[in-house]
Amino acid sequence: MRAIFIDATARTVSEIDHTGKLKAMYQTLGCGLVDCISVGPTQDVWIDDEGEINGTEKGFLLAGRRFFGNALLLDSNTRDDCTASTVELATVKRIVDFFELAPARTN
């Protein structure tokens, strides 16, 4: 199914084909634990659940929230099943802002 992949490391937003299955999310996102955050009426962003605490310094802002690491944007239905993303790729590219944290200073 159609998904939007947000690559925080490469600072890119692209359309990919994805199964929407949990094991495939781990592989695509490069993590072992995911979380699903609602960012619209039927739009969900799937993220590395430990991205903020595992030393990931790269991330992005979306829908007024800060996310660390890579993400998948998929839709969901009334049964909370993943469905193909209906958001336009150009829209996501326009509203995602990437960031990189500065390394902590030691004195």
Distance CA 12, CA 6 (A): 6
For residue 34, give the nearest of 72, 6, 83 by alpha carbon.
Answer: 72
- The predicted structure's pLDDT at residue 63: 86
For residue 44, give the nearest of 65, 30, 23 by alpha carbon.
Answer: 65
The pLDDT tens digits of the residues spanning 58-97 come to 999 998 899 999 999 999 988 889 999 999 999 999 999 9
- The predicted structure's pLDDT at residue 17: 98
> What percent of the chain lies above the pLDDT cut of 70?
95
* Entry pTM: 0.91
- The predicted structure's pLDDT at residue 105: 64
- The predicted structure's pLDDT at residue 52: 84
